[in-house]
Structure formats: structure tokens, C-alpha cells
Amino acid sequence: MDQSFSNQFDVQALLEDGSHPVQFGTNVLAGLIEGIDRFRRDLEQQPRSRTLGPAMLGAFLWVDDPELLQRIAGFPSACVVVSKQPRSKRHVERLRKIAEAVKDAAGFPVHAFSELEELRFHQDGKAPVLGPGSPQEHIRLPALRTLGYRRAGDHLVPILHTKMLLLGELWWHDEDALGGVADITGFTPHRLWLGSANGTESSRRSLEFGLWLEDPGLLKAARRFLVEVLAHSQELDPDSDGLEPDLVVPDYDDEAMWEAMAALADYDYGDGA
């Protein structure tokens, strides 16, 4: 028996400004893929200064659609977070396949978000201790991460159940807020996809919806939510069954910091004399 929905269910409409179609029915991921390609093409064809290229953030229950994985892997900067998977043989194999699909991806620079730039990877479950001589780190998160609690047996756990993708642009600046010389990187969101479809190949056969939006308030809220998701995310197949993020606020060696500041003050005073 052919178990499929006919295209009689497929409906498209335009938003009031006529900018993007809203899709209902089957294969709404086609609209997601087309929107990703169009955004990247349009952005890269525009002459822009201080740009670091297109960037992508996302959060899905699961992602395994080959075309979507290809777009994630090939984006200049991308990080998509999925719900944490159980450890059954089937789920382990699923993880292996998607990890292989994005193994050469560029990932996403954490320092593009001021909310995250202080964070560091934990060391054996503990916050690293930083002093005045600690090297500056520019962390790039892998293209696929995970979030949440791992289900064990029949016990239901809270899951990441969103289906969203935020496209934007990374940029750089050589001045900080006070006009001093600095190396600043940021992310500006431009376009948001929301839908009911997981990023899965099987979702193309189901009745779903999907739409692109550019409302400034919505873009700002989506960015804030996704930054929080990144902050609490873990590697794709972590040992932890709980919500224990890889990135933590470091501890600082206050005594060493004060000694370094005092030495610098003495040097400046002596130089001025």
C-alpha cells in the first residue's frame, strides 16, 4: 500500500509584504533549502565591507535530511543544535551518520556573541582557572551540537522540540564601544525560518508547515533564544545524561590578576616619572 499524502494538501500563500511564501502540506523542507540558498547567494553577491560572510544558527528535534545536512556543512559559519539522543544501537548509528555528514564543516565562532565570549570549555567537569598569562581563546563550536536530557527506558524527559533556523551575517570591527583598538566580531540576524517539520528526510512526506519571517522583534528574540541554546549545549554524543553544558564561566586567579595589575601600574608610574 502506498502510504503518502497527495499534493491536494499542498497550499502556498504570500505574507502581506509579498516577500516570502508560507507553505502547508508535504515537502516543506524544500522551501527551507531554497531559502537558505537564496539568502547565501544574495548576501555573497552584494559588495559589503567588514563582512565575514553568511552565518546560520538552528535548533531542531532531529536533523538527518541529506540536503539540509549538506547546507549546514557547507555554510561559512553554522551551528545547529538537536535534542540529545538515547544510546541504543539504532540511535548511535544515526549519530554516526550525521556526524560523518558534517565532519568537515567550519562550525561557528563563539566570540560572535558578547554573551558567550567569556565562556570556556570545562576541564574534566570543572571550570578552568585563568590568570594574566592565560592565552586568549577563539572557540569555534562544531556544526552540530546537542541539548537536553537523555531518555532512558520509558521515562519521558524534557526535549528540545523547536524547528527553527536563523540566517544572518558575521561582521568584524576594529574599535570597541569606547573607540579603542579592538578585534570585534558580531552576528546580525536577517531571516528566520519556523515550521512544524523536523529537519528529517521523513518529514518531507508528512503534512507540515514552514515560513520565512523578517520581523525585527522576532529576529531579536530568536537570536536571544538560540544563544541560550548554544550556551547550554554539549557535544553531539556526550557522556552526560543531563543538562551539563560544555561551556562554563571560568574561575579567575584573583591574586595573580592583582599582582599583574600592580606591576603594570608601577611600570606606568615609573615610565611617567
DSSP 76: S
**What are the cell numbers at 92?**
548511535
User: Helix 66-74 and helix 89-101: axis angle, to 10°?
Assistant: 50
Q: At what angle do helices 29-45 and 66-74 cross, to 10 degrees?
A: 20
**pLDDT recorded at residue 259:** 63
**Above 60 in pLDDT, residue 84?**
yes
3-state secondary structure of 230: helix
- Cα separation, 53 vs 39, whole angstroms: 11
Burial degree of 167 (CB within 10 A; 0-12, 13-18, 19+): buried
Tell me, what's the pLDDT at 122?
Answer: 85
Mean pLDDT of 134-144: 85
Band of the pLDDT at 273, cuts 50, 70, 90? Answer: very low
How big is the chain by its Cα radius of gyration, in Å? 22
The pTM for the full model equals 0.88
State the Cα–Cα distance between residues 82 and 156, nearest whole angstrom.
Answer: 17
What confidence score (pLDDT) does residue 6 get? 84
| Confidence grade of residue 119 (pLDDT, cut at 50, 70, 90) | confident
What is the tens place of the pLDDT at every residue in 13-57?
A: 888 777 788 999 999 999 999 999 999 999 999 888 888 899 999
CB 99 within 8 A of CB 210: no
Q: What residue has cell string 546560520? A: 56
Cα 223 from Cα 229, distance rounded (Å): 10
Domain architecture of the chain: domains with CATH: 14-272 (3.30.870.10)
Q: How many helices (H) and strands (E) does the chain have?
A: 5, 14
Q: State the distance between the two ends of the chain, measured CA to CA, in whole angstroms.
A: 91
More confidently predicted of 241 and 272: 241
| Mean pLDDT, all residues of the chain | 88
Which tens digit of pLDDT belongs to each residue from 146-189?
Answer: 999 998 777 889 999 999 999 999 998 866 665 665 678 899 99
The predicted pLDDT at position 176 comes to 63
Beta-strand runs (E) in 70-137 = 77-83, 108-109, 120-121, 129-130
Q: What is the pLDDT of residue 197?
A: 96
